[in-house]
């Protein structure tokens, strides 16, 4: 299957390492950034 998988809720570098080893190419979560409101993102 040719799937594009996004891992959500990534909180530490060990999770990033494991996901990378499993060929997960996109991750999001507190490890990268706390949630922000759209207004702050645009500014």
**Sequence spans of domains, the chain:** 6-42
Residue numbers in the chain where pLDDT is lower than 70: none
**DSSP secondary structure letters along 1-43:** -----EEE---SHHHHHHHHHTT--EEESTTT-----HHHHH-
Residue 21: what pLDDT?
95
Residue 1: what pLDDT?
80
pTM of the predicted protein model: 0.75
Residue 3: what pLDDT?
84
Residue 43: what pLDDT?
83
Residue 12: what pLDDT?
97
């Amino acid at each position: 299957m040719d799937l594009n998988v996004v891992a959500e809720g990534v909180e530490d570098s060990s999770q990033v390492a494991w996901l990378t080893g499993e060929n997960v190419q996109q991750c999001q979560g507190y490890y990268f950034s706390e949630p922000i409101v759209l207004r702050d993102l645009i500014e």
